[in-house]
Amino acid sequence: MWQMKKNELDLSKVLVEESLFTLGNGYLGIRGSFEEGYGSDEICSNNASYINGLYDRVPISYGEYAYGFPLVQDKQPRIVDTQNCQIYLDGERVNLSNGQHSNYERILDFKAGVSTRKYHYETTIGKSAKISFIRLASLWVKNIFIYKIDVEYDGDIELRCSVCTDIKNSGYISDPRVHAQDVKLLNNIFLKSKANKIHCLMQTLKTKIHQATVIDHRVVSNTPYEINHEIDGQTAITSIKSTQSMSLEKHCYFTDGIRFIDPYDEAVSLSQKYADTPFKEFLSAQADFLAEFWSHSDVKIDSNDDIQTSIRFNIYQLLQSVGPDKYSNISAKGLSGEGYNGHYFWDTEIYVLPFLQMTQPHMARSLLEYRYNTLPFAKNRAMELGHNKGAAYPWRTISGEECSAYFPAGTAQYHINADIAFAFIQYHQFNADYDFLAKMGAEAIIETARIWLEIGNFSNDQFMINSVTGPDEYTAIVNNNYYTNLLAKYHLKFASKLFDEFKTVKTESLKTAFEKLCMRISFTKKEALHMKEASDAMCLPYDKELGIFEQDDSFLKKAMWPFSETDKSHYPLLLHYHPLTIYRHQVIKQADTVLAHFLLEDGIDETSIKASFDYYEKITTHDSSLSACIYGIMASRCGYLEKAYDYFKESINLDIKNTHSNTKDGLHMANCAGAVLSIINGFSGFRISQRGISFRPYLPKNWKSYSFKIKYLNREIEVSVSDNIKFTLLSGEPIPITVWGKSIKLKDQLIFDKKKDIS
Amino acid sequence: MWQMKKNELDLSKVLVEESLFTLGNGYLGIRGSFEEGYGSDEICSNNASYINGLYDRVPISYGEYAYGFPLVQDKQPRIVDTQNCQIYLDGERVNLSNGQHSNYERILDFKAGVSTRKYHYETTIGKSAKISFIRLASLWVKNIFIYKIDVEYDGDIELRCSVCTDIKNSGYISDPRVHAQDVKLLNNIFLKSKANKIHCLMQTLKTKIHQATVIDHRVVSNTPYEINHEIDGQTAITSIKSTQSMSLEKHCYFTDGIRFIDPYDEAVSLSQKYADTPFKEFLSAQADFLAEFWSHSDVKIDSNDDIQTSIRFNIYQLLQSVGPDKYSNISAKGLSGEGYNGHYFWDTEIYVLPFLQMTQPHMARSLLEYRYNTLPFAKNRAMELGHNKGAAYPWRTISGEECSAYFPAGTAQYHINADIAFAFIQYHQFNADYDFLAKMGAEAIIETARIWLEIGNFSNDQFMINSVTGPDEYTAIVNNNYYTNLLAKYHLKFASKLFDEFKTVKTESLKTAFEKLCMRISFTKKEALHMKEASDAMCLPYDKELGIFEQDDSFLKKAMWPFSETDKSHYPLLLHYHPLTIYRHQVIKQADTVLAHFLLEDGIDETSIKASFDYYEKITTHDSSLSACIYGIMASRCGYLEKAYDYFKESINLDIKNTHSNTKDGLHMANCAGAVLSIINGFSGFRISQRGISFRPYLPKNWKSYSFKIKYLNREIEVSVSDNIKFTLLSGEPIPITVWGKSIKLKDQLIFDKKKDIS
């Protein structure tokens, strides 16, 4: 239940397993490659390591360039990979492709925070060895990654660890026409050996950011051993020879020039500071950290299948990927691969943050701080786009600069501004943290809200937002995308009410802080009034005949996609049809209107929500990994319980079963979170709004129970659903909650036999 | 009146003058560079030669690639340039930057079909020389280009002619961020000298098309002379030495592997065939050709300014650029520069062809044959775009393959299909050539019409065409672009009536040919009926309140561009604003709805035409060179006579005065034609439709008279407007014409004192 386990070696799935077994701590991420290699050149492997927030830049080429197109793009570079360690037994290299092995076991342990791997190996002359590996990305000291390799063998043992500084990011194998070539992003400044350590300093090619690595080799052997370091050009090889048994620990220290003035000095200091800290201390610190984490973030499920393990896998991968400071965020693929170049998208705010907001507010806050930290770039970008004021957040980025090379499904997705504001507002709803609001939240919310006044206009008393793209990338550059407009309406309303909001604050210093902010960014009551007017008059396209909200002004007038004539092999459509062919039809890549109704349902009648779901579901291909989870949540909302469970299964298995065939390029972080939301927001129907928190819990068929916790306004509440529905106030003062539409005060515990008890 | 003349050397305008003094014959084009050079490295020159229809291919890069984006792009290569001939006087090189010159004169002669240049030059020791040049792109034998250089000097004369095969197309100087680097498109296969000839065979890099050049040096000198050929790597140098006076003729023969199986063999044959043909014979053939040309295509103007010369300049440049066979068309910049990579656009059908249809039907037909010849590519492209049948012509191309790298203002301009069909239909209206219709026209018209059924759909009983871009590139990917829909309506109607059309044909073989065509391409009466239904139900957005046709479904709901806040330096907008900022506003780059009303006015009420003109004119920036002429024509139509004349002046001077600052990259062919149309369709109000031809003639203020001829259904009619309006039937049977709305039979001559005489 706390482990993902593989009992068989399958060398045909190396790339996918490397992603699944990635170990990270939000700062560092190292894919699960085999230390000893795979024994064959025919096996494609991406043994890669990453640091969150580190970036180089590569030029973007355009057949036809237009004003405001980004000319360069951030790219998360592979840093020096420390995984490599060949094993020789009596001079014969352990080879998993051709050699004999048995008792294979590989585990990713969510409670211990390590991955392990072990097997018995038989040499060609029939002698047997026991080989085992354990690795850990320290959640205690995030710059540290440790490998431990144990070999027992009645003969000569040699380990040859190598580090190569000639590193390239790999081209996209999936589409040979684009970025087909590997790209070098880092230069070797130096590589040297010192005592049992390898020291290495690298620098990104264009952005000139340093990155340092120190690898400390600690050997435990009952018999005498010999250790040798050798630098050969850009490769350092450390070879350790012994007999009978050997235990090697590689303690690796990683630093970078974004966070440290002298990263090399810092890496050396760290290696000295922790030189005598035994591995077991790291193990126990790891376990402590995770005990605390799971005590708030676990989702317990009692069912007859392996769902419990799967849901923990998804939560664990989120934990491993969330950037720990204002210099980093959570990239679409976490720290597990090079898909999307390591860029951060709206996935953070609309998929990942909701879960963190509920259970790990400090992690949520850290992700928001990154956005605040990059606000100056967003303000510059707004100017570049021709706006007079405001901030336009980039569709995809690492550094904060816009990196989207295809604006119809990039820069045109102005909704990113509302998505980010939505997350700041939600953070405020969960925490009522006026200090954060005054220091960061309000400024980000106001500056992003200004863009709606810049791009929108009044026409026939309605406020229209033209020429944008909504979440659905199968429809581009449209007028009045419902999702965008609904979120903008909410966003503008919140921004316009900030003056009132701060009136209620009692701490004088916070009032002053907000006043100073308004002075500094020239935010006036007049501007707030404009925002209110735009919000009140926001155009929300609605089709009376169908009784549904229209995805945009013209969506329902388009021809239906010829689904019945489309061969299965032609999905995802984007790989088989020209964008114009797709844009011209009623066909949806991912939840759009349906997503809007998940995020904001207040004031929208249930019938329209349900009719919209029914209509759009039929024409959604779910070609994006951001879709299934949202449809699952909304299926729950509409009472389609079987459907909800199907979507949930799709979501929870997306990476584990590689259903989108691209897990090799990295895990799908938004979906990992979406799988969890499918339970919390789906099965339990949790929502938060200005009016408080509410639930509509039910138990999926064949489940015995599920439970989770939510932190809300300094309280922690446990929600537990089995034959009955139980709310327990674990800490904090009594508070009203809404269950199936009825507001009830939660003091210690509330128990309902079933839905009927409540209504 | 028949010459463009420059009496002063201005070395600051070298690039522009090279474009203006381009000499061509539709097959060959050679920019007007100075044989002797400009004497300074600081003077930027593009001494380049081109062959119409020749192309290499270069890859197109995309930051984000999507299905159906072209991966390569045709590019018109510079071929070996034969212009270079340094002049030495007593060993001192003639240098126009530093040396003394006088009596400078440069002429482009529209009647003689040559360009000449001459001056007196003084060497540093004060000795004087007379130097003169004449060049000719033969209109008789289109593979031949001749230079004649005469030098009189009391001393040693040396001419050093060089040909270099290391050729590169130049990068776009105007936008250093795109295609900044020069591109090599041709390889040297061989370069050799033979008697007084240089032989050279080149091959395009990717498309492997051969191109051969033979240069024959003919020397006339009263004193003995010495001639030497030298090949140094990729450069051939022919040096001729003499004293007192020298006359060198370089007869250059160009061929290519598209038109000839063995182009080298062909070039050699041509050089043998014309070896003894004296230059004067070429001169007289040239004059004969032009006499015939001008006898049909001249537009005579009697006014107090230099308009007569300017209009002839524009007509002459058209003649020089129109491809003479099915392998070539007329590129946006003719054969005078590398702007737009030498691509062919809709400029051909909507701007250039109307003039040729009226006066040079065989040239019009040749351009249409090119389209027919590339129909297979258009059919392939339709499949690639996901259509089940039909042909989708490329937005820009040389070979026939789509070369547009930015689909919102490229492939999305589906109206190219209607534009091409429009030209085929117009050809039919002018010539009633059922043979051509049966052989080529009908097939092209039907295949292109099919696309409307593919991309359009019925919604609320209207036929809608969604997700396309109209002519105005400041608005992209819209629904029901009025221009597109109006032309598609017309196009579908004509296609649907083809069965009826051929019923009236008396020649049995033509009827059979059409039936066979229908069999071959499976065109049935049922499909024709579908076309009729779509045509009848075509959505033509109209705004009742404003009484104007709406550019597209949502255009009038968008915010007005802030014209008053836009600095002059920020035009053209496309170089200063992101496409999304432009798309979001009511702002137009070029005639769109207004152009539709020029092409098709039948059935549209005058009030709406005028109101539409008034509305759209205010928000049009004319950032495209395709705009002023159309607004001028429609200003005439609406009775805004002063405005019409202003636009006409803008159009006629666009290249001559370099008003768009990019004439250096080549002349603007569509505008050259547009300037002429401003008179014929503008001042004389000429229109052609199924119902016949009509006029609304008036005389611009301060003009004494103008006249021109029109070929129509085997007649030639002269239209002459002065104090009176005179129609003369020069040849053919009597025919009714419509003048100011009234149908009158034209027998020999019709004279009206003024407008009132008619109505």
What pLDDT was estimated at residue B172?
58
Share of chain A above pLDDT 70, in %: 98
Q: Is A473 a catalytic residue?
A: yes
Which residues of chain A make contact with B559, given a CB cutoff of 8 A?
457, 466
pLDDT digits (tens, 9 = 90+) for B565-593: 999 999 999 999 999 999 999 999 999 99
Given the residues B35, B266, B443, B473, select the one marked as catalytic. B473
Tell whether A649 is covered by a domain: no
Amino acid B755: pLDDT: 57
Residue B520 DSSP class: H
**Bridge partners of residue B213, in order along the sequence:** B200, B254
Asked whether B6 and B106 are in contact (CB, 8 A), the reply is: yes
Tell me whether B405 touches chain A (CB under 8 Å): yes
Q: What's the ipTM?
A: 0.90
Q: Tens of pLDDT along B269-305? A: 999 999 999 999 999 999 999 999 999 999 999 998 8
CB atoms within 10 A of CB A163: 23
The fraction of chain B above a pLDDT of 90, given in percent, is: 94
* Closest by CA position to A742, among listed A725, A759, A719, A717: A759
Burial annotation A215-245 (CB, 10 A radius, 16+ → b, else e): bbbebebeeebebebeeeeeebbbbbbbbeb
Answer yes or no: is pLDDT of A114 > 80: yes
Tokens for A231, please give them.
Answer: 């630098």
Helix (H/G/I), strand (E/B), else coil: A410: coil
Per-residue pLDDT at A757 exceeds 60: no
Q: Which of B581, B583, B589 to mutate to test the interface with A (most CBs of A within 10 A)?
A: B581
Using the 3D structure, point to which of A275, A295, A315 is the last residue of a domain. Answer: A295
User: What pTM does this model have?
Assistant: 0.93
The pLDDT of residue A458 is: 96
A479 assigned to some structural domain: no
Contact at CB, A405 and B62, closer than 8 angstroms: yes
- pLDDT, residue B61, reads 87
Q: Minimal Cα distance from B454: which residue of A?
A: A581
Q: What is the pLDDT of residues A368-401, one digit of tens each?
A: 999 999 999 999 999 999 999 999 999 999 999 9
A408 CB within 8 Å of a chain B CB: yes
Give a yes or no: residue A690 inside a domain: no
Segments in A521-626 forming alpha helices (H): 525-536, 579-583, 593-599, 606-618
What average pLDDT score do residues A433-444 get?
A: 98
Q: Is residue B270 part of a domain?
A: yes
Among A249, A349, A447, A473, the active-site one is: A473
Q: Chain B interface, mutation test: which of A61, A64, A65, A575, most B Cβ atoms within 10 Å?
A: A64
The string of pLDDT tens digits covering residues A460-469 is 899 999 999 9
Mean pLDDT of A673-692: 97
Question: How many CB atoms are located within 10 Å of the residue B570 CB?
Answer: 12
**B180: pLDDT strictly greater than 70:** no
Instruction: Supply the pLDDT for residue A182.
Output: 85
Count of CB atoms situated within 10 Å of the CB of B142: 18
- Flag whether B711 is in a domain: yes
Model pLDDT for residues A501-530, shown as the tens digit of each residue:
999 999 999 999 999 999 999 999 999 999
Instruction: List all residues of chain A from 122 to 161 with a beta carbon under 8 Å from chain B.
Output: none
Q: List, as one string, the DSSP characters of B108-134.
A: EETTTTEEEEEEEEE-TTS-EEEEEEE
Under an 8 A CB cutoff, do B408 and A408 touch?
yes
Please report which confidence band the pLDDT of residue A173 belongs to, taking 50, 70 and 90 as the band edges. Answer: very low
| Mean pLDDT for all residues in chain B | 95
Angle at B248 between CA B243 and CA B251, to 5 degrees: 165
Confidence class of residue B756 from pLDDT cuts 50, 70 and 90? low
A 22-51 → B contacts, CB under 8 A: none
In sequence order, what are the beta bridge partners of A243? A156
Q: Can you tell me the distance from the alpha carbon of A294 to that of B78, in angstroms, rounded to the nearest whole number?
A: 69
- Where do the DSSP E strands lie in A380-469? 456-459, 462-465
Residue to mutate among B61, B64, B569, with most A CBs inside 10 A, is: B64
Distance from CA of B424 to the nearest CA of A (A): 27
Q: How many residues does chain A have?
A: 759
The token duo for B709 is 């001829």
Q: What's the pLDDT score for residue B222?
A: 84
Query: Is the pLDDT at B759 greater than 70, yes or no?
Result: no
Q: What average pLDDT does range A553-564 have in this prediction?
A: 96
Residues B424-459 pLDDT 10s: 999 999 999 999 999 999 999 999 999 999 999 999
Q: Which of residues 625-684 of A touch B (CB under 8 A)?
A: none
pLDDT at A178: 40
* B575–A contact, CB cutoff 8 A: yes
Nearest CA in chain A to B455: A584
Query: Rounded CA gap, B114 and B126, in Å?
Result: 32
Contact B107, B3 (CB under 8 A): yes
Q: Is the distance from CB of A754 to CB of A739 less than 8 angstroms?
A: no
Report the mean per-residue pLDDT for chain A: 95
The closest CB to that of B577, out of A65, A67, A405, belongs to: A67
Nearest to A439 by CA among A516, A348, A377: A516
Contact B455 A584 (CB under 8 A): yes
Across the range A254-283, mean pLDDT stands at 98
Q: Among B269, B295, B321, give the residue marking a domain's end.
A: B295
Which residues are CB-contacts of A237 (< 8 A; sequence separation ≥ 6)? A160, A161, A162, A229, A230, A231
Please give the residue of chain A at the shortest CA–CA distance from B574: A67
Out of A69, A386, A558, the one facing B466 most closely (by C-beta) is A558
Residue range A299-314, pLDDT digits in tens = 999 998 889 999 999 9
pLDDT tens across B351-362, in order? 999 999 999 999
Q: Where residue B175 sits, what CATH number does that domain have?
A: 2.70.98.40
Over residues A96-121, the mean pLDDT reads 97
B579 close to A (CB below 8 A): yes
Whether omega for the bond prior to residue B278 falls within 30 degrees of 0, making it cis, is no
Please state the rounded mean pLDDT for residues A46-71. Answer: 94
pLDDT score of A364 more than 70: yes
Q: Is the dihedral of CA A459, A463, A467, A470 positive or negative?
A: negative
pLDDT on residue B234: 93
* Backbone phi and psi for residue B705, each to the nearest 5 degrees, phi listed first: -170, 165
Whether residue B218 lies inside any domain: the answer is yes
Last residue of a domain, one of A274, A295, A316: A295
pLDDT digits (tens, 9 = 90+) for B134-152: 999 999 999 999 999 999 9
The answer to whether position A545 is within a domain reads: no
CA gap B482, B544 in Å, rounded: 15
Return the pLDDT at A41: 83
Task: Give the mean model confidence (pLDDT) for residues A545-551.
Answer: 97
Asked if A178 lies within 8 A of B64 by C-beta distance, the reply is yes
Instruction: Give residue B732's domain range.
Output: 705-758
- Residues of A in Cβ contact (< 8 Å) with B575: 67
Asked if residues B125 and B235 have their Cβ atoms less than 8 Å apart, the reply is no
Residue A180 has pLDDT above 80, yes or no: no
Whether the per-residue pLDDT at B614 is higher than 50: the answer is yes
Residue B20 CA to residue B31 CA, distance in Å, equals 8
Contact A385 B61 (CB under 8 A): no
Rounded to 10 deg, the angle between the A641-653 and A628-638 helix axes is: 160
Where does A451-607 show beta strands of DSSP type E? Answer: 456-459, 462-465, 542-543, 548-549, 559-560, 585-586
* Amino acid A715: pLDDT: 98
Interface membership of B576 toward A (CB under 8 Å) = yes
- A60: closest chain B residue by CA: B63
Beta strands A749-752; B300-302: pairing state: unpaired
Q: What is the pLDDT of residues A647-676, one digit of tens each?
A: 999 999 999 999 999 999 999 999 999 999
pLDDT(B175) > 80? no
Q: Give the gap in angstroms from C-alpha A406 to the nearest C-alpha of chain B.
A: 6
Q: How many domains does chain B have?
A: 2
* Residues 436-465, chain A, touching B (beta carbon < 8 A): 455, 457, 459-460, 464
**Neighbouring C-beta atoms of residue A663, cutoff 10 Å:** 26
Q: Tell whether A201 lies on the interface with B, counting CB pairs under 8 A.
A: no
Q: Which residues in B26-59 are b (16+ Cβ under 10 Å) and which e?
A: bbbbbbbbbbbbbbeeeeebbbbbbbbbbbbbbe
Specify the pLDDT at position B174.
Answer: 46
Task: Please report the pLDDT score of residue A176 as a whole number.
Answer: 37
| Average pLDDT of span A668-693 | 97
Q: What is the pLDDT of residues B303-355, one digit of tens each?
A: 988 899 999 999 999 999 999 999 999 999 999 999 999 999 999 999 999 99
For residue B43, the number of C-alpha atoms closer than 13 Å in the C-beta half-sphere is 21
User: Model confidence at B55, in pLDDT bands (50, 70, 90)?
Assistant: very high
With beta carbons less than 8 A apart as the criterion, state whether A209 and A54 touch: yes
Could you tell me if residue B590 is inside a domain?
Answer: no
Non-local (6+) Cβ contacts of A569 within 8 A are: none
Residue pLDDT, tens place only, B385-433: 999 999 999 999 999 999 999 999 999 999 999 999 999 999 999 999 9
